[in-house]
Chain A
């Protein structure tokens, strides 16, 4: 049979998938109904659902950002695909704004529940702390994503500048004026888009939006002196700004130098203790060695003076040794002399 009628199987598949996908929904509904009796716990599953949704959005945005980074890193001269890059940039910006709104909504939800006076019980306090931590975590993840986005845009503008320089090399000055005009919309477009997206970020207070804005403005304003009016005002500001940045860098260098000096002082102070130990040890060594020398001198002196005593002792011994030879026959007195000898030797040895 060339054509098989499998509609029934198809319908069965659809039914099974529907039941499968409806189960979690029914499950969460059941959970909600069960937990509604606990009041605030119903809100907890709500909160976790919103947080999970936001987390999924953040991860998908990160994926797209990775793709954009890949595209932005390409350094080919001609096959640039600017349309795709700008589309992706726009999509990512929208996603970030969306996630921002969701996080703000989540935060207000948390505050609203806090305002309901639930934080008296210890459980409530833990739950509030947990919610607060989750919100902080999501905000920090979003901040990381936006930082990555900003880096990718910077790489993109750098690469565009390099490619413009290279095309200048090949097509000299007549093309440079023409190229400045098309590159400016990109340079002016992206800072404007960025400032809009990051403008909402200061709500959270975690993301530094101001530095971003001025940095992007700086790169835009350096893009050529062809447009007179706007560039004039920006030039006025940029001279003063460049002076202030130069002086700020000097200030930071001086602060760094101060830090280095304090580090140096700390290190030398740590070493002072070591030096004191070495000092104490050397003094000990000196006293020990001099004491040992004294003892040795005493020993030497006693040895050299002791010889007279030893001679006298030997003399007495010889006298006593020769005595038993003479009195071999006198047994009793030999016993007495032997006893005396042993006694004397005992005294000498002890």
Chain B
């Protein structure tokens, strides 16, 4: 489950799109492949960004890679593209895109869109690293995971409570028997006193 690249693209509806900010994690490829794979990723991102209509989400599959695209449109006409492998769960990918785009739109002013190389958005790198494990990064998945763990702990607790119940039943029986025996003991001792007064 890996994220290969994450990019924010400016895509006005009339054609040319420019990459405003991109981050990629190509550590799984060998050194000589990294260059070509990186170029492929950026080309792929730009193509699908151009082909996604406004306020639409789309997922495109190409060999082993899946690109999830979210065209936010609006005033800034931003598109977020994330390229992952096929195992990566779809919903957190889109929520990541939404988060990245909102963050980008709030941090980077619209005037600097015309000068892509001057845009500095280092958070995109932290995002891509954090979302390599979607279960931890995505809020919903994290909550679900914690809930499942809690459920397991509770099941164990219930089992130990059942065992406690068994032991308590055992104790009840034994204390009952002991009580009977001590009562008999008391009676016998008392009988000793009342019977033979002289001797």
Contacts and interface: CB of A to CB of B under 8 A. Distances in A.
A225 B59 contact: yes
Contact of A235 (B57, B157, B183, B193): B57
A254 interface: yes
A242 B178 CA distance: 63
A267 B185 contact: no
A215 B157 CA distance: 36
Given A253-B148, A261-B154, A292-B189, A274 B56 contact: no
A239 B91 contact: yes
Contact of A299 (B141, B183, B192): B192
A299 B176 CA distance: 28
Interface in B140-163: 140-141, 143-144, 147-148, 150-151, 154-155, 157-158, 161-162
Nearest to A348: B198
Interface residues of A, number: 49
A68 to B, nearest CB: 32
B169 interface: yes
Name the prevailing secondary structure of the A interface residues: helix
A310 to B, nearest CB: 7
A274 B58 contact: no
A42 B156 CA distance: 63
A293 B189 CA distance: 8
Nearest to B70: A239
A281 interface: yes
Interface string A296-319: 101100100010011001000000
A232 B161 contact: no
Interface stretch (A69-77, A109-117, A205-213, A243-251): A243-251
B63 interface: yes
Contacts of A349: 198
A281 B177 CA distance: 9
Contacts of A253: 144, 147-148, 151
B61 interface: yes
Interface of A: 173, 224-225, 232, 235-236, 239, 242-243, 246-247, 249-250, 253-254, 256-257, 260-261, 263-264, 267-268, 270-271, 274-275, 277-278, 281-282, 284-285, 288-289, 291-293, 295-296, 298-299, 302, 306, 309-310, 313, 348-349
Give the 9 A-B CB pairs with smallest separation, nearest first. A288-B182, A295-B189, A281-B175, A292-B186, A292-B189, A242-B91, A253-B147, A288-B186, A274-B168
Given A242-B91, A247-B140, 5 more contacts: A236-B56, A253-B151, A264-B158, A281-B172, A284-B182
12 contacts: A173-B63, A239-B57, A250-B143, A253-B147, A267-B162, A271-B161, A277-B172, A281-B176, A288-B182, A288-B185, A293-B189, A306-B198
